[in-house]
Chains A and B, each alone.
Chain A
Amino acid sequence: MRKILLYITILTTGLIFIGRLFYLQVVDTSLAIRSRDNAIKVIYDYPQRGYIYDRNGELMVSNQPSYDVMVIPRNLKPFDTTEFCNILSIEREDLEKKLDKARIYSPMLPSVVIPQLTKSEYAILQEKMRKYEGFYIQKRSLRDYQVDHSANVLGYIAEVNQSKVNSDPYYLSGDLIGRAGVEEYYEELLRGVKGVKYIQKDRFNRDIGPYKEGIYDTLPEKGKDISLTIDAALQAYGTKLMENKRGGIVALEPGSGEILALITAPTYDPAKLVGRKRSPNFTELYYDTIARPLYDRGLLAEYPPGSPFKTLNALIGLQEGIVDTNDKFSCNHGYAYGRGRKLGCHAHRSPLDMIPGIANSCNAYFANVYRRIIEKYPTPQEGMDVWHDHLASFGLGNYLGSDLTTGRPGKIPSSEYYNQIYNYPTYKWYATATISNAIGQGEVLMTPMQLANMTAAIGNKGWYYTPHILKEIEGKPIKDEKFTKRNYTSIDAKHFDPVVEGMHEVYKSGTASTLRIPGIEIAGKTGTAENFAKIDGKRVQLTDHSIFIAFAPVENPKIALAVFVENGYWGSRYAGRIASLMIEKYLKGTITRTDMEEWILNHSLEDEYAKPLSGEPFKINQ
C-alpha cells in the first residue's frame, strides 16, 4: 500500500485529465463555436447585383447604392439616443424594439437597425458615426428600375426571411434576396457571390489583423448581367392597353419559345418596392384583395378557355380520323343531345364543314366532333383518356416547366376524374355528360400562358419550345436543354393546315373580321367564356370573359399570343382588339389602326368590376 499509493494517484489523475480533455475537445462542440464567435470577426463585401436587359439590349434594371445602419449588440456603448433618433427620424421606442430584436437574434452577429438610408441621411450620420460604438454602416446596392412596367416579370428584392437564413448558410440576417419573378428564379446568377474577410480579434474586441494572413478571405464576385426574352417596348405597350382592365397577355415567339411579353393587369410600378417605402407599399399591394395587383394573371389565373379550345378538338378529331375537313354538321341554334338538353349557338349559316366551323365558332360542329372522339372507343373512359393525352402533349393540364417562379397546371379532365364524380361503376357516364368540353367550358381550365403556348404549337404545326424568359447570360445564349429542345404534340403536322386556315378565316370572314390589320396575315380565334362569382353565398353569373388567341404571320409565325380580359364580354370586343394591336406593334413597330387603339385606351372596365361589389342587382353582358 505504501509503495503503490502514489502510483495509483498519478495514474488516476492522468486518466481523469485525459477524460476531461476528451469531453472538452471532442464531445462538447459548443466550445469551438463560442471560440469562433468571439475570436474572429467576419466582414462581408456585397457585390453588385447583375443588370437585367430586355431582348433588344434595353436596360430594364440597374443598381443604386444604399446604406444600412447595422448593429452588433455586444459592442454597444451608451449613446445619445435622442440625437441618433433625430438624425434617422425614427421613434425612440422603435429603436429600442429593433435593438431588442437584434439582441435576441445574436449579441455577436450584425443585425440591420435602419435599412436603406437616403443619401442625405447617410451624409449626416457618417460624420457622427464614431460616437455610436457598436453601430456601423453597411453599403449595399439597391435596384434602380429603368422601366415602370414588368413588376410581375422582374419580381423584387427584399430582406431575407429567418427561415431562409436557417436553411441556406449563404444568407445572413439582413441580406437581400430576390423575391418573385426573375429576381427570385435567377437569384444565384444575379446576386453574384459575396466576398468575405476574416479578422482576428483580441479579447478587447479590437481587430489585430487578418485571420491566418487572409488565406480564407475571398473577393466578391459581381452578379451576372442577364438578358430577358421580354421585348420591353411590347411589354410597355401591352401594359398601357390593359390599363383599367383586369386580365393578362402572354406573347411568345413560336420558333423559340421565348416569352415576348408577360402582362398582368392591374399592375404596379416596380420602383414602389425599393427603399424604405418598400414595406408599407408592399402591405398596401398585398392587402388589395379585390384588384390583386400582386397576382400574376398571365401565369396564375385558371380560366375556362372557351372557343379557342375548339381548335384543339378539331385537331384531335382529324388525328383520330373521325372527322374529315369536308364533313358537315348542321346547327339549329345549337346542338341537342337528348332529353331536351341543348348546347346553344349563335346565328350563322348551316350546315358547316371544318374551316367555316372554326371561323364561325359553331358550337354544334364541335359538339359533334367531340362526341365522335369520345365515342370512337368501346367505352367513354378510353375515349376520354385518348382525348386527354392528346391535350397533355400541348402542355395542358400540367405545369409547363418554365423558368418562372409561379404557374398553375390548369385542368384537363381524364376518365378517372369523371369516374369519381359520377361514382362509376355504380353510375355510368357518356360523352354527352361532358359535352361542354367540346367548346372549352365544362371542366377544362387553362392559364393564359398555356393558351399562348398552345397557340404557338398550332402556329408551328405540331411542336413548341417550353416557354422561357431568360435569353442570355452575360451576352451568351442559354444552353439549357429544357428550353432548346422541341416538344412534339401527338398531332401530325398535316392536320394543322385546315385548322390554321380556319383560324386565318376568323380574321378574313369570321368573328374577328373587323380586327384585320393591313399588311399582316393573322390567324386567330375568339373566345367568350361564361363565368360566375359567389355573392352572399349565391352563385351569380357575371359578364363573360373576353378571350383571344392569335399568331402572325400565318406562315412562319413570329408572335403567338393569348389575351384574357376579365368580364370583357365577347372575344373580339376587348381581347381581340388588344391582340391585334400587340401583333401590329411587335411586327411593324407602329400602329396604323389608331381607331382601335383609341377605343381600347378610352374604355375602362372598372364599372363592370364594381357591379358585383355594389350590393345592388345588376345586369350583365351589356
Chain B
Amino acid sequence: MSRSSAGFDWISIFIYLILICFGWANIYSASLGTNTGSYFDLGQPYGKQALFIGLSIFLIIIILSIEAKFYQRFSSIIYLVSLLSLAGLFVFGKTISGATSWYSFGSFGIQPSEFAKFATALALAKYLSDIQTNIRKLSHQVQAFIIIAIPALLIIPQPDPGSALVYAAFFFPLYREGLSGFYLVTGLSAVTVFILTLLVGPFWVSGGVLLIGLFLFFRKRKKRPGRVLITLFTIISIGLSFSVNYIFENVFEQRHRDRFNIVLGKEVDSRGIGYNTNQSEIAIGSGGWFGKGWTEGTQTKGHFVPEQHTDYIFSTVGEEWGFLGSAMVVILFVLLLLRLLQLAERQRNQFTRVYGYSVIGILFLHFLVNVGMVIGIFPTVGIPLPFFSYGGSGLWGFTILIFIFIKLDSDRLSY
C-alpha cells in the first residue's frame, strides 16, 4: 500500500454486506415456493444469487486492487465500450419478457444497461473535473447533457424506460458542481403543475399559479429577480397546465395513464393493472409490527405478488420482517447514502466527488422509485432495488459503482 492510501471506508462496506446478505435471505424466501432444496441449488434464483454474490466478492477484490488513477485515466474508454455494448444489443441482444436488454451466454445473461451507469458516472466525472470545463456555461451544460443522454437514449428503445429514468440521477452531481438552480426550480415546478393538474384540473392550478406569480411580481425585495422571468414562468406554467390533459391523453400510452391514475387514487382496479401494487400492499400490510418470520410469509409463499424476487422484493421484507424489518432496511439505505455523501464531500479531487455524487444519485433514485412503487406511492416503474433484487448484472453494476468510489476515496490523500 502506498503512503497516500487512507484505507477503505469500512462503514460503507459493512452496510453493503448487511444489505447483500439480508437481500439474499429475502430472495431465498421469495423464490423458495414449496420445495426446500439446498441453499445453493443453481436451478433456483436463490442459488444463482448466491453465486452472483460470491462473484461480487471476487469483483470487489479486483476493483480495490486496481490503481485508483486507472479509473480516471480510462474513464473515456470504459464509457465508449459501454456505449458500444448498448448499441450492440440492437444486433445481438436477446429478448426476455419483451425487452431486448440482454446478451445471452448459455443460461446466464448480461444486461449492459446495468454497467452503463458506472461508465457514464466515470465519463461525467472526467468531463466535469477537466480544468477547462465550466458547468455554468451553456455549451458545457449541453456537452455534459449529451454524455448523460446517449446511454439513456440507447436504453429507452430496448424498451427499458425505468433504467433510462435513472439517468435523471446525474442532475445531483451537476447541481453540486454549479449547475444553475433554475433547472431545479423549473423541473420541480413542471412536475408539480403536471401532477396537480391531473388531480384537480387546470383551472384551479392556473388560478394558484397566477396568485403566486402576482405575489412574487409585486413583492418588495432588495434582490428582485427579473419581473420578466416571473411573468414568463407564470404564463408557461398556465400553458403547461392546460396542455396536461392533451399530453396525458395523447402522448402517454394507456398503461402510463393507468399507472398514474392508480397512484393518484383516481382509479381503483385491484385485478388488472393495479394488481401488482395491490398485492404488494397486502403483503406488506399483513406483516404487522414484527412480520410473519423468515420464509413464513403466506403472500410470499403463495406467489401473490408478481416479480417478487426481482422488482417487488421489498414486499417480502415487509411481509416477513414486519414494520421493524422494513423500516430497518429503509434506515440502512439512508445511512449508506448519507455515509457515501459524507465521503464525497471530503474529497479534494473533483473527479472523485463528481463520481461519488453520481453513485449516490443513482443508488438513491433506484431506492426512491423502487420502494416508492412497492409501497404504492409511485407509479409502477420497473427498476430493481439495489442489493435486494434478484439479478447478477444489477448486483455487479451496483457493486462496481460503490467499490470504485470506495477505491477512489481511499486514494484521496494522494491529491
Partner of B285, one of A7, A28, A202, A208: A28
State the CA gap A18–B367 with chains docked (Å): 13
Indicate if the CB atoms of B368 and A22 lie closer than 8 Å.
Answer: no
Query: Does B168 count as interface, using CB distance less than 8 angstroms?
Result: no
Whether A13 touches B282, Cβ cut-off 8 Å, given contacts A6-B172, A20-B375, is no
- Among A7, A20, A26, A28, the one with the most B-chain Cβ atoms within 10 Å of its Cβ is A20
Within 8 A of A (CB), among B95-126: none
Indicate if the CB atoms of A25 and B364 lie closer than 8 Å.
Answer: no
Beta-carbon contacts of A1-12 to B below 8 Å, as 1s and 0s? Answer: 111011101110
A211 contacts across to B, CB distance below 8 A: 298
A3 contacts across to B, CB distance below 8 A: 176, 345
A29 contacts across to B, CB distance below 8 A: 285
Indicate if the CB atoms of B283 and A18 lie closer than 8 Å.
Answer: no
How many interface residues does A have (CB within 8 Å)?
39
B364 contacts across to A, CB distance below 8 A: 6, 9-10, 13
Within 8 A of A (CB), among B345-384: 345, 357, 360-361, 364, 367-368, 371-372, 375-377
B302 contacts across to A, CB distance below 8 A: 38-39, 200-203, 208
State the CA gap A7–B376 with chains docked (Å): 24
Query: Does A35 count as interface, using CB distance less than 8 angstroms?
Result: yes
A21 nearest CB across to chain B (Å): 5
State the CA gap A24–B323 with chains docked (Å): 9
State the CA gap A118–B181 with chains docked (Å): 81
A21 contacts across to B, CB distance below 8 A: 284, 318, 323, 326-327, 330, 375
Indicate if the CB atoms of A17 and B372 lie closer than 8 Å.
Answer: yes
Query: Does A34 count as interface, using CB distance less than 8 angstroms?
Result: yes
B323 contacts across to A, CB distance below 8 A: 21-22, 25-26
B303 contacts across to A, CB distance below 8 A: 202-203
Indicate if the CB atoms of A39 and B299 lie closer than 8 Å.
Answer: yes
Partner of A6, one of B34, B288, B361, B376: B361
A9 contacts across to B, CB distance below 8 A: 364
Indicate if the CB atoms of B375 and A17 lie closer than 8 Å.
Answer: yes
Indicate if the CB atoms of B178 and A2 lie closer than 8 Å.
Answer: yes
Indicate if the CB atoms of B282 and A6 lie closer than 8 Å.
Answer: no
Partner of A34, one of B34, B282, B301, B330: B282
State the CA gap A7–B344 with chains docked (Å): 12
A381 nearest CB across to chain B (Å): 65
Which of under 10, 10 to 19, 20 to 34, or 35 or more describes the interface residues of B?
35 or more
Indicate if the CB atoms of B361 and A14 lie closer than 8 Å.
Answer: no
**Nearest neighbor of A32 in chain B, beta-carbon distance:** B286
Partner of A32, one of B34, B288, B341: B288
State the CA gap A17–B375 with chains docked (Å): 8
Query: Does B304 count as interface, using CB distance less than 8 angstroms?
Result: yes
Indicate if the CB atoms of B367 and A13 lie closer than 8 Å.
Answer: yes
Partner of B296, one of A1, A28, A202, A212: A212
Query: Does A123 count as interface, using CB distance less than 8 angstroms?
Result: no
A28 contacts across to B, CB distance below 8 A: 285
Query: Does A36 count as interface, using CB distance less than 8 angstroms?
Result: yes
Query: Does B281 count as interface, using CB distance less than 8 angstroms?
Result: yes
Indicate if the CB atoms of B289 and A35 lie closer than 8 Å.
Answer: no
Whether A39 touches B298, Cβ cut-off 8 Å, given contacts A3-B176, A14-B331, is yes
Indicate if the CB atoms of A25 and B282 lie closer than 8 Å.
Answer: no
B376 nearest CB across to chain A (Å): 8
Indicate if the CB atoms of B286 and A10 lie closer than 8 Å.
Answer: no
Query: Does B287 count as interface, using CB distance less than 8 angstroms?
Result: yes
Indicate if the CB atoms of B304 and A38 lie closer than 8 Å.
Answer: yes
> How many A-B pairs with Cβ below 8 Å?
126
Query: Does B337 count as interface, using CB distance less than 8 angstroms?
Result: yes
A24 contacts across to B, CB distance below 8 A: 281, 284-285, 318, 375-376
State the CA gap A451–B220 with chains docked (Å): 101
Query: Does B333 count as interface, using CB distance less than 8 angstroms?
Result: yes
A42 nearest CB across to chain B (Å): 12
**Nearest neighbor of A27 in chain B, beta-carbon distance:** B285
Query: Does B334 count as interface, using CB distance less than 8 angstroms?
Result: yes
Within 8 A of A (CB), among B298-340: 298-299, 301-304, 318-319, 322-323, 326-327, 330-331, 333-334, 337-338
State the CA gap A20–B327 with chains docked (Å): 10
State the CA gap A24–B376 with chains docked (Å): 10
A36 contacts across to B, CB distance below 8 A: 286, 298
- Among A25, A202, A208, the one with the most B-chain Cβ atoms within 10 Å of its Cβ is A25
Whether A14 touches B326, Cβ cut-off 8 Å, given contacts A32-B286, A38-B282, is no
B390 nearest CB across to chain A (Å): 19
Indicate if the CB atoms of B371 and A17 lie closer than 8 Å.
Answer: yes
Query: Does B252 count as interface, using CB distance less than 8 angstroms?
Result: no
A170 nearest CB across to chain B (Å): 23
Indicate if the CB atoms of A39 and B285 lie closer than 8 Å.
Answer: no
Query: Does B74 count as interface, using CB distance less than 8 angstroms?
Result: no
B184 contacts across to A, CB distance below 8 A: 5
Whether A32 touches B285, Cβ cut-off 8 Å, given contacts A24-B375, A202-B302, is yes
A208 contacts across to B, CB distance below 8 A: 33-34, 301-302
State the CA gap A467–B372 with chains docked (Å): 70
State the CA gap A209–B33 with chains docked (Å): 10
- Among A26, A31, A36, A212, the one with the most B-chain Cβ atoms within 10 Å of its Cβ is A31
Beta-carbon contacts of A189-218 to B below 8 Å, as 1s and 0s? Answer: 000000000001111000011011000000
Partner of A2, one of B33, B176, B376: B176
B22 contacts across to A, CB distance below 8 A: none
**Nearest neighbor of B342 in chain A, beta-carbon distance:** A7
Indicate if the CB atoms of A25 and B289 lie closer than 8 Å.
Answer: yes
A30 contacts across to B, CB distance below 8 A: 285
A297 nearest CB across to chain B (Å): 55
Query: Does A610 count as interface, using CB distance less than 8 angstroms?
Result: no
Query: Does B175 count as interface, using CB distance less than 8 angstroms?
Result: yes
**Nearest neighbor of A26 in chain B, beta-carbon distance:** B323
Partner of A18, one of B175, B281, B282, B327: B327
State the CA gap A39–B194 with chains docked (Å): 39
State the CA gap A200–B298 with chains docked (Å): 7
Whether A31 touches B176, Cβ cut-off 8 Å, given contacts A20-B375, A21-B330, is no
State the CA gap A539–B135 with chains docked (Å): 110
Partner of B175, one of A2, A10, A13: A2
B331 nearest CB across to chain A (Å): 7
State the CA gap A1–B185 with chains docked (Å): 13
B176 contacts across to A, CB distance below 8 A: 2-3, 5-6
State the CA gap A35–B282 with chains docked (Å): 6
A40 contacts across to B, CB distance below 8 A: 298
B386 nearest CB across to chain A (Å): 14
Within 8 A of B (CB), among A326-382: none
A204 nearest CB across to chain B (Å): 9
State the CA gap A26–B282 with chains docked (Å): 12
B401 nearest CB across to chain A (Å): 16
- Among B302, B326, B338, B360, the one with the most A-chain Cβ atoms within 10 Å of its Cβ is B302
Query: Does A16 count as interface, using CB distance less than 8 angstroms?
Result: yes
Whether A31 touches B345, Cβ cut-off 8 Å, given contacts A13-B364, A17-B330, is no
Beta-carbon contacts of B139-167 to A below 8 Å, as 1s and 0s? Answer: 00000000000000000000000000000
State the CA gap A17–B357 with chains docked (Å): 22
Indicate if the CB atoms of A14 and B284 lie closer than 8 Å.
Answer: no
Indicate if the CB atoms of A203 and B372 lie closer than 8 Å.
Answer: no
**Nearest neighbor of A1 in chain B, beta-carbon distance:** B181
A14 contacts across to B, CB distance below 8 A: 330-331, 333-334
Indicate if the CB atoms of A35 and B283 lie closer than 8 Å.
Answer: yes
Indicate if the CB atoms of B304 and A203 lie closer than 8 Å.
Answer: yes
A to B CB contacts below 8 Å, 8 in the list: A6-B172, A10-B334, A13-B334, A24-B285, A25-B287, A26-B323, A28-B285, A34-B286
**Chain A positions near chain B (C-beta within 8 angstroms):** 1-3, 5-7, 9-11, 13-14, 16-18, 20-22, 24-26, 28-32, 34-36, 38-40, 200-203, 208-209, 211-212
**Chain B positions near chain A (C-beta within 8 angstroms):** 33-34, 172, 175-176, 178, 181, 184, 279, 281-289, 296, 298-299, 301-304, 318-319, 322-323, 326-327, 330-331, 333-334, 337-338, 341, 345, 357, 360-361, 364, 367-368, 371-372, 375-377
In the A-B complex, the 6 residue pairs with the closest CB atoms: A31-B285, A35-B286, A39-B298, A14-B334, A25-B323, A202-B302
